[in-house]
Amino acid sequence: MNYFSSNFKLGILGGGQLGKMMLYDTRKFDIYTAVLDPSAYAPSRLACDEFSIGDLLDYQTVVDFGRNVDVLTFEIENVNVDALETLENEGVKVFPSSKTLRTIQNKATQKTFYSENGIPTADFLKFDHTTNINTALDENELNYPFVWKSARFGYDGTGVKVVKSSSDLEALPNVECIAEQLIPFKNELAVIVARNVKGELKTYPVVEMEFHPEANQVEYVICPARIPDAIAKKAESVALKTAAAFEHVGLLAVEMFQTENDDILVNEVAPRPHNSGHYSIEGSYTSQFEQQLRCILDLPLGNTESKVAGVMVNLVGAEGYTGNVVYKNIETILGMEGVTPHIYGKKQTRPFRKMGHVTIVNKDISEARRIAEEVKNSIAVISQ
C-alpha cells in the first residue's frame, strides 16, 4: 500500500504529547492522520489532518472513528478494547492488537501473564477490592511494606503507592488492585522493543531511569544505562522474551528492576511510545515515534543505535502552581550546549503534570547528566 501522499488514513486514539510527537513524523512522511481525543485543547489537534472530540472509553465513539481509517493505533492504554475487537473483526487493522492491549490494560491480568509465561517479576497477590488486603495481612500472606497498584487506570505516578502502615492502606481507593512484594533494587531500567507486522524485531539500548522520590515520576532517563554489559545483555534478553510472549506489533516499552543480586524483574510494560524513549528524537538514528510508524505500517525497521549519549529531563508542573503555564528561565537552557526543549502544548499547569521534556546530548554521558542537573535547576514550570 502507498502510505505517503496518498488517500491512506492513519487513525490515532489519544491526542496527548505522545500523539503530537508521532505526528512530527507523519508530517515528515506526508501520511494523512485523524486523531480522537476527549479534550478540545489536546496537544495533537494542530498537527493532524482531522481532529475529533470524543470519549476514548465509549464503545460507539471508538467504533465510529475507527471505521473511517485504514490503520488504527493508540497513544494511551485507556481506550475501549471491545471497540477495537469489533473493528478488527470488521477488517480494520488495529496495532497493537486488542488482545495485546486487553492483557496490558489491567495490571492484575498483566502480572498473571508474566507468571504464566515464565517472565521474571516481583511476587504479587490480586485483590478484587483494596479492603480485602486486610485479610491477607491478618493471615500473614502479606507483610508491610508492600507496593499497592490499582489494576486499572493508573498512570504518571497515580495508582501506585508504597504502603508502610494501616493508615497508608486506609487512604487508598477501594478498587481492584494488586499488592506486590517491595523489591530492593539498584536500578530501574527500560528497554523498548520494536516489532513490525512481519515479526522483524529490534531493541533500543537499555536506559536507566531516575525517579522523583515523592511523585513516583521519572525525572531523568539516561542512555546508555550506566551498568555493566552483562547486566545490559540480561535486560535485553528479558525484554525480548516479554515481547515474544505478547507477539505485539508496534513498540513495547519494558520497565524492569535490577535487584541487589543483579536479577532482572519486569515491573510493567506499555504498548506504545514511552517516556523512556523520548531521548531518541535527538539521540538515535531512528526516533521511537518514527519506529512506531514503521512497525504498524509494516515498513523496514530503522536503526535503533544511538548517535550520541543522551539524558532526558521531564518538565513537570512545580508544586504550589496551578493555572496558565509559564516556562521560567527557558531562555537560559536554550543557551546551553546540546539542549533541546520539547513543550507539549498544555496551557494549564498543576503540580507534577507532565508539561514537556528536555533532551541533553553529549559525547560524554557524565557530562550530559551534569548538564541535565543544571537544566533541572534552571527551568521552572510555574503559572501566571
Binding-site residue positions for ATP: 107, 149, 180-183, 188, 267-268
Spatial neighbors of 331 by CB under 8 A, at least 6 apart, are none
- The whole-angstrom separation of Cα 205 and Cα 193 is 10
Binding-site members are: 107, 149, 180-183, 188, 267-268
What grid cell was written down for 249? 506489533
Helix runs in the chain, H state only = 17-29, 59-66, 81-89, 98-105, 107-116, 133-138, 166-170, 229-246, 280-283, 288-296, 330-334, 365-378
Q: Are 216 and 162 in contact, with CB atoms under 8 Å apart?
A: no
Q: Are 119 and 235 in contact, with CB atoms under 8 Å apart?
A: no
Closest of 213, 159, 221, 158 to residue 189, by C-alpha: 221
The residue type found at 122 is A
Sign of the Cα torsion 77, 181, 188, 232 reads negative
- The whole-angstrom separation of Cα 184 and Cα 267 is 13
What grid cell was written down for 65? 472513528
Q: Strand, coil or helix: what is 45?
A: helix
DSSP letter at 43 equals G
Sign of the Cα torsion 9, 15, 17, 18 reads negative
Cβ neighbourhood burial of 288 (10 Å; 0-12, 13-18, 19+):
buried
Residue length of the chain: 384
Closest of 198, 242, 5 to residue 95, by C-alpha: 198
DSSP letter at 95 equals S
